Structure formats: C-alpha cells, structure tokens
Structure 1
Amino acid sequence: TWVLLKGSSENEYYSLLLLYLKWSTLRKVKSRSWKKQRHFRLLEDGMTIWYKSRWAGKGHSTFSVTEVEAVREGHQSEVLLSIAEEFSADLCFTLVFHGRQGNLDLVAESPEEAQAWIQGVRKLIHRAQTMDEKERLDQWVWDWFQKADKNKDGKMNFKEVRKLLKMMNVEMNEEHALHLFTMADKSQSGSLEIEQFVHFYKILTQRDEVWKVFQDYSGDGEKLMLEELENFLRVEQQEGEQSAQHAQELIDSYEPSESAKKEGAMSLDGFQMYLCSQQGSIFKPEHRDLYQDMSQPLSHYFISSSHNTYLLENQLRGQSSLEAYIQALKRGCRCVEVDCWDGSDGEPVVYHGHTLTSKIVFKDVISTIKEYAFKASDFPVILSLENHCSVEQQTIMAEHLSQILGDMLLTTLLDGQVPQQLPSPQELKGKILLKAKKIGGFEDCLDETMTDEVSDEEDIANGDAESPTVENPPAECMNENDKVGACSTFSLCSTKVYVFMTICYTFLIISINLSSGTEFVQYNTRQLCRIYPSGLRTDSSNYNPQDMWNVGCQIVALNFQTAGLEMDLNDGLFRQNHCCGYVLKHDFMRDGNTQFTPEKPEERKDYRPLRLSIQVISGQQLPKVNQKEGSIVDPLVRVEIYGVPQDQAKEETSHINNNGFNPVWNETLNFIIHTPELALVRFVVEDYDKASRNDFIGQFTLPFTCIQAGYRHIHLLSKDGTAIPPASIFVNVSITELT
C-alpha cells in the first residue's frame, strides 16, 4: 500500500492517504509503564487527526496537522528509548508539536503502518507549510465550517451560524446576523452548504478600512492598474525606485483573477491578499534572509544563548530532558548550557545540582547536540560546561566529547596560528566550541603536555531575575572556591580537545563593573561576556536582556523554557538574519574607541533620533481567551519600546467592547527613538478587564531596524512564540527624522 502511495499523483495521493489512514490502532506511550491503545484516523479535510480510546464512549480528541512541527522516526525520544527493547525502531515515531505542547509518542502494529503515518503526516505538514494565502484562508474557513456543523450533515442552519459567530469571537445582534445569513442562502433552503458558507464568510469579513485605502489609489474603484499600484507602493509603502518592478511581482503573486492579471491590474481581493501576506507584513522581507556580514570577530555579535538548557520546567523540581536541547537549538540558540555531575553508575549526568530536577545522561546530551546543532543554523554552537564531576568522570566526559562530536569539535588553532583576534562565525561554521574550566595557562595548553595546576577564569556576570548585577574582577582571574578536578584529560590536551578559551586566547569571560557604561561597551568590542540569571531564584524567571545588549554583552543567557516578555525580546532580536542565532552589532558598538554610553545616547557623534508613528487601524480574527461559549474579548493594543533608557516607553489604544473578530481602533501612538539601532518594538494585544489584570491575547516583537513603513499587518504569536493564524493587527507605520 505504501509503495502505491509513493507512486501516486498528488490528487491520487491524498485520496489513498485518506483511505489508508481512515482507521488505525496505535499505542500511545507516556512512559515505560504507560502504553495504551488509541484509535486514530485522518478526517476528510486532510488536515485534522482524530483519536479516542475504545473505552472513552463518545469522547475523543483532535488536533490539526498545522500544530505538528515534525515527525521523528524510530526511537527519537526519551520515552521511546525507554521501551526500545520491547518495540523495534521501525514501529515507533514521535509527533512533535509547535511551542510548549508535549510531544506524542506512538507505536504502530506494523512497520508498513508506521511508515504510512510517518510519511503521510510529513507530506501533510509540507502541504500546510507551502499553502499560499488563498489556500490558507480556504483551509481556515473549512475548519470553521466543520466546527459549526454540529450534526455533521454538511449544512449549517441559522442556529448553528449564531453559535459560530460566538466561536469566531464576534458579537452581532440577531437581526443583522439573520440578514447576512439570508444574503448567503441563495437557495432559500434555510441552511448553508460549504459554497454558501464561503460567501457568508466573505460578507462577514469585508474590510472597509482596506477598501478605503484601495479607493484612494484606484481610478475606477474596481481595480488598481499597474501605475496606480506603483504609486501606492511609492507613496504609502515608501518603496522608492523598486516600486515599479515590485508592483508587477505582487500582481503575479497575489491577484486571483486571471483576467485582471492579463490586464496588468490588481483587484480588491488581490490587494487584501498582498497586505495580509509576509511581503505585506511589518517585518522587512530582506531582513529575514542572511543579510549581515558574518566574517567579523565573535565579539562583534549578539549570540542567542540559553541558561539551564536541559530543563523543560522550573529549576527546583522540573524535568530535565533531551527535548529541551532540541527545542533550543531548533530556535536558533547558539550557546547551550550543560551542568555535569557524577552519575551513580559511573556515567556523568546532567541536571540542576542539589535540587529535585530529574537527571539525564551526559553522553545522550552530547549525542543530541551533535544531531541538532546545525539544523537551524550553520554557525558555531558554544557548549558551556558547568563541571562538577570527579576526576574519573571528567575523563569519561572528555572521551564522550571527543568520540561523539569528532571533527565537529574545535580541537586545533585555526590555520595553526595564534589568533590576533577572535575568529568569526564564518570561519567557525559547523564547529562546536567548548567553554569550560581551563587548567594551566595559554602557553601550557599549546604544548602537548599538561600540568595539574588549576587556573580558572570567572565565567559569570552574576545576576538576579530582575536585574543582573556584577562585581569588580579580582586581580587575577582566580576563584579558589570553585570545585574543579585537577584532571589533565578533561583539560583536554591528551584527547586533543582544547577548550574554546584556550584556542581563542583573548576569550576571557569575567566579572566587570557596570557603572562605567562606555568602558563596558569598549570592553565588549574585544572580549566575550556571558550573563545569566542568578542561581538563588526559586523559579526559572528571566531578567530583561535589553539592559545587557545596550552595553554590548554578547552571550545573554535566558531560560528558553520560560515564556514571557524576556523571551519575546530574545526571539524578536534574533528573528532577523535568517534566525541564525548571530546578530551583528552596529558599528558604534564594534569600535574599540567608541564613546557611546546608553545613558547619554545624544553624545554619540552620529546621533540621529527618529519619530515613530503607528496608527493602529484594526484587528482580525483574534483568538478567544476564555473558551466559555458566550465569552467575547474586549481587545486593546499596546506598543512597547525597549532600548536605551530614554527610549523605554509604552502607549496603548482604548479597548473595543465585545469584538475580537474585526475590531477597529483608528488610533495613533507616537514615540521618539534616540538609538534606533538598539531598539526593539513589541506589539501586545490584550483582553481588557476592568476588575482584574488584562488577559494576554497575542504579541509580536521585532527590531526597530527591521520595520517596514506603510500599511502593514502584524501577524500575532502566542505566549509560546508560535503563530496563531489568521490573527493579526493592521497598522500604518511612519518613520521620520526628528527636526
């Protein structure tokens, strides 16, 4: 059957896939002792997977293929590894979900059935990811039709439509709702089939605010001719000379009418599809690509960095997991932390020492890092080892590092030469760099022999959850209180594994006084500085990383497992440059003689403040916060600026009562940005509550330098940082020089 599937045409493929995945019995596995059968099937829409227990009566669960990030084949989870002796790899697979939703480990009854699900779901994921804007909208409309059609007769009566409107987060009086229903019910049957429902949806989602913009540039009110579209792109979208070529590209990409295309024109439908696309979003498309110079010293880059990478939850009782490393690396993280302790069976383990967090095997961590280090980015990964092991288990660690990572691990000087500056991300592509305690001096480590003499660098600028604090560096970089085994094998000469600090002799990570902002910025043009949250906290909260970026600190480590403002800022900064985990600092942050200080940005020689004006126009299909049937959100939009102290600001719109479907604000928020190169802009949508704290609906954060001016959509993300289509905010952005 699977051979037949693979050899089929696209349409035949989906027909056969629906037939073959119509009903399967798979084991859902949660642990070595929890393995239960579940009935699975792919629903007729080709995008929804349904499953239930045979003992669950009418109860069942569903999830959309769009929620699935990837399918891992074989024993590629800790749970499936634990049952490897019971079930062979060709029966096992894992569905990996976006965000922080737990994965689904499954065991099929035959290798053929496993392959049908593995390859079938992968094909469906690819199909979902490659949909154009129209296909994505059609799928979304179909999903709503399925949800509203409670009796599954392929039709919706008016009662079902009324419930649908509540589900879609819109409050509408019964008279108006009946009017729209009657307009869509062309057959006057008292119910809507799918085609009529599409018409109903189109009436419901007519956007006057987009129509008004369209009318401003359309000569006949029906279409935008090529020259009119060019004019819109030049005047409103501020595209300048490229507007002519871009106009034709947009017509070719987004205009659904073939006759309009032949005429060289864009209809209102095409215009709205363009505005809702990634090209019409607030984020500059060219900044999504790898657009920065990657040949400069490492100290010239901000580096996406994780703290306590092994944890999925809090640092006192949370679960340690290989999945945490996988998720961090897939998000573009380039510096991961490994806390190593003696294991009871002679194998080193990784966990948060002296706590109730679970333990994972060091060897498995290194194998996982090897597999996932370069899936999201080719640029180097820094392995930050916190070594608490005995001499004997340090030796085992060194052997695992050498044997598992092999040529990936940086083990020699680049070109055999003592470097005059830190190497670049480009030079270190595909390499894993070890940051660990160093034994002996630089010259000693260049020799084949090592002494047992201990000499550490201080590797932390210690901080608490709210505001990192640091101390003055000691006269010599020594810390007698650190427990470091005097193990020459782990100090890595006998295995030819030189620590990164040895290879790059200028790589000093030390404490430094933050009171002298300019000196700290200058210091960070030459050296790498790592910041991470204080270990004295009782949770896994984060500090605001912006303060550290303002003075040029490169490795600002955060708890990736903790959602919130701080991770929104981190994701926002590293969303640019192909999400490669490295962002080039601006030139005034790379100049060793810079006089810049974040406290006085106006003293910078090329100081040029800008005015940011954001007209918040409308919102589209905002998700519900409270899932109760009658609950409708009262949305407001807040714009937050993070940067140097003078740039910190927040402004918000009023709230709109009972409308999360198509709220309209038409309110303008204004800001002065003194250091645009360091500013991040965060858009937050909340459900207003007079009596208690507002509920979070969605957010999107991006660097100020990545903002596109003009009429733009902001595609919202969940608290976990995952997309929640088609939820968006429509804005008009203006950026001008301050006169």
Structure 2
Amino acid sequence: MVSLMQGRLPINQDVLLMQKGMLARKVRSKSWKKLRYFRLQDDGMTVWHARQAGGKAKPSFSISDVETVREGHESELLRSLAEEFPLEQGFTIVFHGRRSNLDLVANSVEEAQIWMQGLQHLVDFVTSMDQKERLDQYHDWFQRGDKNQDGRMSFPEVQRLLHLMNVEMDQEYALQLFQAADTSQSGTLEGEEFVEFYKALTKRPEVQEVFENFSADGQKLTLLEFVDFLREEQKEGERASDLALELIDRYEPSDSGKVRHVLSLDGFLSYLCSKDGDVFNPACLPIYQDMTQPLNHYYINSSHNTYLVGDQLCGQSSVEGYIRALKRGCRCVEVDIWDGPSGEPIVYHGHTLTSRIPFKDVVATVAQYAFQTSDYPVILSLENHCTWEQQQVMALHLTEILGEQLLSTTLDGLLPTQLPSPEELRRKILVKGKKLQTLEEDLEEEEEEEVLESQLEGEQEAKPELEAQFESEPQELSPRSKDKKKDKKCKPIMCPSLSALVVYLKAVSFHSFTHSREHYRFYETSSFSETKAKSLIKEAGNAFVQHNAWQLSRVYPSGLRTDSSNYNPQELWNAGCQMVAMNVQTAGLEMDICDGLFRQNGGCGYVLKPDFLRDTQSSFHPERPISPFKAQTLLIQVISGQQLPKEDMTKERSIVDPLVRVEIFGVRPDTTRQETNYVENNGFNPYWGQTLCFQVLVPELALLRFVVNDYNWKTRHDFIGQYTLPWTCMQQGYRHIHLLSKDGTSLHPASIFVHICIREGLEGDES
C-alpha cells in the first residue's frame, strides 16, 4: 500500500538521504556522548536508532512529535562542547510538550544540514496537513496491522489490529465487516478494501441519529434544515443563516452538494469534528479582549523559578526553561541572580545543588524568545542577591543586550496616574525588582539634571570663566541631590544603575491592605507565598479583591514544594491576583487549569479579569459570592468517545474501560465533579449517553476540565486524556472535545462527543 508520505510528499533530496541513515553522536551531557545510527523509516514519519548501522533498531521519535529543529549554536549543551566539535556539525531536535531535547553532532557540516533541512521539511509538511488528511488515519493503521508487510491484511491480522486500536469486538461482527469489505473475495483486504473496512468500523451511529433528526429524507441536510440545526441546537442565533452557507462551503466534500447548498452526512461529520464544531468557541481563539486597560486588570501567565527544568533542590538550571516558558505564552519569568565567578552574575536556586547558568545567557535568551509567541510585554521578575559590583554588571547586560526592548523610563517621560496597558507596552521588557526611591523622585532627579545641564550650557556660553567652578561644585545648584547622594552612601545595598531600570514594577513588602492603601503607590507590587495569599483570602477576601483592583500581586509556590509541584491557581485568580506563578515544567491538573485559562485571547499571556475584580469599590468576596452575579445551570450529555489511546501503547494489556469525569473549578461553592459509568473493553468507540448537571454561581470565574480515565477498581483510575477551557469560551450544542495528553500535547484523533446546554439561573432554586 502506498504510504502517506510517498503519496503526498514532494520528493526531497534531504529526505531521501535521511532514509539512508547517519552515524551521529547523541549528547546528553559534557561526559555522556555516544555514537548512534539514526535512520528515517520508509514511511517518512518515524526516525529509528541503533547502536550501529545494521544493528537492532528501535523507534526514537515520530515527526509529529517534533516542534522545531535548532542550529548547534542555539544549544547551551552543544556550546559547552565547542572545543570538541564544531558547532556547525551540531543541531537540536525540540519536541512538543516537556520531552527533553535531543542534541546530535553529525560527522560533517553537510550531514548536519541534510538532517536539519530534511526534518524541518517533514515537520512543515505534517503541520500543513489539512483536517481531511488528518482524519484519514487508515494509512497508519494499515501499516501497524499488516504484520508481515505484504500489503494485504488477513482476518487474524485484522483481529490483532482491533486490539491495537483499543476495541474488543464480537468476532462474528468483525468477520461480517471484514467479508463485506473483501469485495475481491481473496480472503484478505488491500488498498481500497481496507479503507472501506475502516470506514465501516468508524461509522458513527450517534452522529447519524442527530443528522436524521434534522434531515427530512435522511440523506442530506438542506440549507434551511442546517440553519434550523445551527439555531436550535448549536445556539448560533442570528448568524445561523450566513454561517450555514459558510460551513457547507467549508466542509461538504462533494462539489454538487456545495452548488446545491446541501450537507451530506460526511460533510456534517467533518463539521462536527472541525474547529467550528469544537467545544472551544473559535471567537475566543484570536485576541478578542480589550487590551487597553491598566496592567493590573489582567491575569498574567507567570512562571516560577523559570530557570529550572527539574526539581527545586538538585534539578538542572537551563536557558531551555526560559525558551519553553516564553514559547508557551508566559509573560512573567523569574530570575534568581547570585554573585558568580570572574565578576559575572549567575542564575540558580540559591543554597541548593541546582546547576548554574550565566545571567547574560538568560538575558540573551529572553531577548531572542520574548516576542515569538506574543507581542505583549514580558516581565523579568528579578530576585537579586548580588553585591553592588555584580549588580552594575547586571544593569549593563540588561541595557546592552535588550537594547530598545528594555523599558527604562516611563512611556512619555511623565509621571503616570495608572499602570500602562499591555497595548501601550507591546514588545517591551519590564524589570520587576527592588528600587532605591520612588518614580516621582526618579523623574524629579531627571528633570533637575536636565535643568542643571541647560543652566551649565547657558552659563558656559555667557561666562566661560565660570567653567572650572561648575566642574568642581555642580551639586551646589541642587542641594536635594546632594542629600540623596549622602542617603545612597548609607545604603549601598542596591546599585543605582540597576534601580533605575525598575520603572512600573517596584517590589515592596506587604504588611496589610490598609498599610498598602496609605503608603504605597499603584506602580508598587507585593509578592505573597501561596500560604500567605490563601490565608488572606479567607480572612479578608473582599479587601484582597479591592487591593488587586489597583495594585499588582505576585503569588509564588510554597518553599516546601521541593519536587516542583504546583498549587491550584484558581482560588488566587478568584481574588483577582494577577501573577500567579507556576512551575511550568511540571505537568498535571494545576497546569491544565493554567493552560485552560490562557488558551483564550490568542494565547497572548494576558486575560482580562471580570469587571467585578477590576473595581476598587467591589463588594465581591471570593469565599462568599452573592448576587448580582448571574448564576447558570449547565447540562452536559456525554455521548460517545473516539479512538481513545491506552496510557502506554507499548504494553500488551487489556483494552481500556473508559469513563468521563467533568470537573468544574471556580469559587468554592462552584468547585465540583461528576462522572459517567465506565464502558467495558472499548477505547475505540465507547458510548455513554449520560447527562450530568451542574449549578454555577459565578460563571465568569469557572473553568471546565473534561477528563477521560481508564476504570480500575483496584487502584486509582489511569489517566487517558483531558481538555480544560474557560466557561465563557464554551460553545453550546453538539460538540467534540479533542483530548490532550498529561503534557498538554494533542492526542489526535482521540475525542469525546458531547451535547452542552446552558440555562440562566439555578434550576430547582426555591428562591
């Protein structure tokens, strides 16, 4: 059978050479460098490796796992080996999710170029495959099921394939489907016969039922029937008529259907499986929020100890931590700086065994990656432990490396009355840290210096003989700055050149909300440990909400989380805290929630807080929410699942017994979960048909997490996949939820099919 690659991919010299294989050094550390033989398989979609050419090979990675390919000089590991190998011979394969990079050194610059260009060519091809090709999974399944690789599939091979596909089917029914597809009656399936078998296998009776409910003849949906479906079920309202035409044009496979404005069952299924039929509202995917409000009115995607790619005690520090955080949309990254050797500051988790990286490398990495994912401002949260001398070096690196990107004075040189907006700060990097004085004093000093300079110039023109006097005593013109200098001599803790780079984000200690209101300014920001922040929410939740309506707050994980685990950010967002810092290197429920919130608004790292969290007079209390907030009732019918993977595809184990759990995270009374029964032995097309009901007081703060688990009565259920999204970005009607792995990467084509209905008010509410 022709593989996907051979049929679709234009012949490329690099790809052909990759299929011949290459001997290269796999590098894990300065001491671990081993020769391995890498070869692109004939399917063009997987790379295998062996200890030597002709040796026993095993899969290394799939092209769909690869995010990008980087040149050798972009890898800190390969740079550290520059004396052993020319950097031009090295390259790095970067994978989606949290999988470690693969650093390779080829035997020649030519071979490195062939693999870099060839891999990038294949990655671009996979990325550009359209929805239809992605749905045509049968090529892959045929390759996996055709055990003896003779291009034909016998019934025993089909039975084995069904097990691989995670479906336990009645043998007689499977044989029936097999014989119906075997039109040549050869006892095997080949080419189109297998395609027919696969289509029969993947038939969706539950989708057909919905289709037939709206179709008069059961064969097609006319334009008016489709408009009715979009209006009644999908709650598309006024735009249903225009949308129906657009969707038929986009998803109907037959040209005659497009011309007649009708939708076939295939077209209907294509629509339901597409972005338009997704549970996530496509209107919330681009930047759709007002980006002109003050910075403190937004939740800001924030990372804790960004330099760590492992645990907090002896994990590895790496600029890779910054690359990954910035590429996934983080807009606030943390830098812990300590005195380093040769007068160069270093970054690491102080008083621990974590490895160290030069501060200037971190700044250079931020300069390169800051705006690759989002144009909105990046905040460098500096934890500065350096002596005066090395602080001066820090200031020098920040100004020289970041250049125009660095915001080093107020936007217009004037004293602001509120924080600037993300829009005004586009492509700017802001420093958050301690500061010697207030912004007012900074600006006054700048003004005095300007006045002094112009006076000096005027005096020099008029009376050149006074030049010497001015040179020896210029400070006499400004007794105030003289006092300042004395002040600075008393506190040599902070270097003025570094202090001057902190403009809108001056770090101050928190004492109480009253103290902040009476003594602090809007551009001063406090940090809270998760424990302190949670206790403040309980003791004075409304005061915290009001505080966060005028000042920025940063919350960081407890020092006890040495394993880099995370807290649930939701309860801190409920109080309006903006920079809720996460250990983004650690996958799990908490990061799913964080990714879920920031999935909206173009993934730009800024999400506008609800209006009741932006009001300094707000009466909202996150622990005791009361009206005027609009309560809603949610009905979710969990209908079916499609091609759910096993947790570990390499293990020959029983078929999964899937169940679906729907979790809601929001204010405390709204946080709850419910689950369906499990379906025995079917991960391929399980059917549940169960309805779950939720009542939510504050929908503006709620997030939904759909989790699919493999039922296991002996232990905790095994995780299969999840998808998390904000309540406000959820579409009603018949929707597919496309599942993500633990790591947040796509599990395509795994999905669950649901029907969602939202009603105003609380159903069964006696009041």
TM-score by length of 1: 0.91
Which residue does the alignment assign to 2:59? 61
Which residue does the alignment assign to 2:505? 500
1:640 to 663, 682, 688: 663
Which residue does the alignment assign to 1:33? 31
Which residue does the alignment assign to 1:330? 327
Which residue does the alignment assign to 2:742? 719
Query: Does the 8 Å contact 1:306/1:558 carry over to 2?
Result: yes
Which residue does the alignment assign to 1:480? none
Which residue does the alignment assign to 2:233? 236
Q: CA deviation at 1:502?
A: 8.9
Query: Does the 8 Å contact 1:530/1:553 carry over to 2?
Result: yes
Query: Does the 8 Å contact 1:31/1:82 carry over to 2?
Result: no
1:539 to 563, 566, 571: 563
Letter in 2 for 1:610: Q
Q: CA deviation at 1:590?
A: 1.1
RMSD between superposed Cα atoms in Å? 2.3
Which residue does the alignment assign to 2:525? 509
Once the two structures are superposed, residues 86-126 of structure 1 have per-residue CA deviations (whole angstroms, 9 ceiling, x without a partner) of: 33333222111011111111223343333332223222222
Which residue does the alignment assign to 1:215? 212
Once the two structures are superposed, residues 17-48 of structure 1 have per-residue CA deviations (whole angstroms, 9 ceiling, x without a partner) of: 54232213133222333333333333333322
Query: Does the 8 Å contact 1:303/1:581 carry over to 2?
Result: yes
Which residue does the alignment assign to 1:530? 554
Which residue does the alignment assign to 1:386? 383
Which residue does the alignment assign to 1:176? 173
Alpha-carbon distance in 2 for matches of 1:329, 1:366: 13
Whether 1:590 and 2:614 are equivalent positions in the alignment is yes
Identity of matched residues, %: 58
Alpha-carbon distance in 1 for matches of 2:426, 2:191: 52
Structure 1 unmatched runs, 5+: 1-9, 456-483
Alpha-carbon distance in 1 for matches of 2:493, 2:711: 59
Number of aligned pairs? 699
Judged with a 3 Å threshold, the aligned counterparts in structure 2 of structure 1 residues 453 and 700 are, in CA distance, closer, same or farther, namely farther
Query: Does the 8 Å contact 1:492/1:499 carry over to 2?
Result: no
Letter in 1 for 2:525: I
Query: Does the 8 Å contact 1:395/1:487 carry over to 2?
Result: no
Which residue does the alignment assign to 1:124? 122
Which residue does the alignment assign to 1:620? 642
User: Residues 237-276 of structure 1: matches in 2 within 5 Å?
Assistant: 237-276=234-273
Q: CA deviation at 1:599?
A: 2.6
Which residue does the alignment assign to 2:573? 549
Which residue does the alignment assign to 1:341? 338
Judged with a 3 Å threshold, the aligned counterparts in structure 2 of structure 1 residues 39 and 537 are, in CA distance, closer, same or farther, namely closer
Q: CA deviation at 1:444?
A: 3.8
SS of the residue corresponding to residue 662 of structure 1 reads coil
User: Residues 186-205 of structure 1: matches in 2 within 5 Å?
Assistant: 186-205=183-202
Which residue does the alignment assign to 1:463? none
Which residue does the alignment assign to 1:683? 706
**Range with bigger deviation, 300-309 or 192-201:** 192-201
Q: CA deviation at 1:172?
A: 1.5
1:281 to 271, 275, 278: 278
Alpha-carbon distance in 1 for matches of 2:653, 2:494: 66
**Range with bigger deviation, 570-579 or 391-400:** 391-400
Greater gyration radius: 2
Q: CA deviation at 1:12?
A: 7.8
Whether 1:421 and 2:418 are equivalent positions in the alignment is yes
Alpha-carbon distance in 1 for matches of 2:236, 2:126: 31
Q: CA deviation at 1:454?
A: 7.8
**Range with bigger deviation, 374-383 or 173-182:** 173-182
Query: Does the 8 Å contact 2:436/2:496 carry over to 1?
Result: no
Query: Does the 8 Å contact 2:433/2:507 carry over to 1?
Result: no
Query: Does the 8 Å contact 2:505/2:525 carry over to 1?
Result: no
Alpha-carbon distance in 2 for matches of 1:437, 1:15: 55
Which residue does the alignment assign to 1:464? none
Alpha-carbon distance in 1 for matches of 2:431, 2:485: 20
Which residue does the alignment assign to 1:52? 50
Which residue does the alignment assign to 2:86? 88
SS of the residue corresponding to residue 221 of structure 2 reads strand
Alpha-carbon distance in 2 for matches of 1:703, 1:621: 25
Judged with a 3 Å threshold, the aligned counterparts in structure 2 of structure 1 residues 15 and 371 are, in CA distance, closer, same or farther, namely closer
Query: Does the 8 Å contact 1:148/1:160 carry over to 2?
Result: yes
Q: CA deviation at 1:189?
A: 2.0
Structure 2 unmatched runs, 5+: 1-6, 447-480, 509-519
Letter in 1 for 2:557: P
Alpha-carbon distance in 1 for matches of 2:711, 2:219: 38
Which residue does the alignment assign to 2:494? 487
Judged with a 3 Å threshold, the aligned counterparts in structure 2 of structure 1 residues 588 and 452 are, in CA distance, closer, same or farther, namely farther
Q: CA deviation at 1:379?
A: 0.3
Which residue does the alignment assign to 2:752? 729
Q: CA deviation at 1:497?
A: 6.4
Judged with a 3 Å threshold, the aligned counterparts in structure 2 of structure 1 residues 46 and 438 are, in CA distance, closer, same or farther, namely same
Query: Does the 8 Å contact 1:224/1:265 carry over to 2?
Result: yes
SS of the residue corresponding to residue 233 of structure 1 reads helix
1:305 to 290, 302, 305: 302
2:366 to 360, 369, 378: 369
Q: Which has the higher helix share?
A: 2
Letter in 2 for 1:506: F
Q: CA deviation at 1:682?
A: 0.7
Which residue does the alignment assign to 2:451? none
SS of the residue corresponding to residue 571 of structure 2 reads helix
Alpha-carbon distance in 2 for matches of 1:715, 1:485: 56
Which residue does the alignment assign to 2:472? none
Whether 1:134 and 2:132 are equivalent positions in the alignment is yes
Which residue does the alignment assign to 1:571? 595
Q: CA deviation at 1:577?
A: 0.1
Letter in 1 for 2:727: F
Letter in 2 for 1:82: S
Judged with a 3 Å threshold, the aligned counterparts in structure 2 of structure 1 residues 380 and 313 are, in CA distance, closer, same or farther, namely same
Q: CA deviation at 1:451?
A: 4.4
Which residue does the alignment assign to 1:472? none
Q: CA deviation at 1:654?
A: 0.5
Q: CA deviation at 1:279?
A: 1.2
Q: CA deviation at 1:492?
A: 3.5
Once the two structures are superposed, residues 443-464 of structure 1 have per-residue CA deviations (whole angstroms, 9 ceiling, x without a partner) of: 4433257648589xxxxxxxxx
Once the two structures are superposed, residues 267-295 of structure 1 have per-residue CA deviations (whole angstroms, 9 ceiling, x without a partner) of: 11111111111111000001001000000
Query: Does the 8 Å contact 1:397/1:490 carry over to 2?
Result: no
Letter in 1 for 2:78: L
Q: CA deviation at 1:254?
A: 1.4
SS of the residue corresponding to residue 498 of structure 2 reads coil
Letter in 1 for 2:233: E
Query: Does the 8 Å contact 2:15/2:118 carry over to 1?
Result: no
**Range with bigger deviation, 345-354 or 679-688:** 345-354
Once the two structures are superposed, residues 574-625 of structure 1 have per-residue CA deviations (whole angstroms, 9 ceiling, x without a partner) of: 00000000000111211222111123322x43x2211110000000111102
Alpha-carbon distance in 2 for matches of 1:453, 1:192: 87
Which residue does the alignment assign to 1:462? none
Query: Does the 8 Å contact 1:618/1:666 carry over to 2?
Result: yes
Alpha-carbon distance in 2 for matches of 1:12, 1:690: 47
Q: CA deviation at 1:640?
A: 0.7
Letter in 2 for 1:68: V
Once the two structures are superposed, residues 30-82 of structure 1 have per-residue CA deviations (whole angstroms, 9 ceiling, x without a partner) of: 23333333333333333222332217732322422111111112321122112
Query: Does the 8 Å contact 1:348/1:362 carry over to 2?
Result: yes
Judged with a 3 Å threshold, the aligned counterparts in structure 2 of structure 1 residues 454 and 508 are, in CA distance, closer, same or farther, namely farther
Q: CA deviation at 1:264?
A: 1.7
Alpha-carbon distance in 1 for matches of 2:608, 2:546: 16
Alpha-carbon distance in 1 for matches of 2:346, 2:634: 50
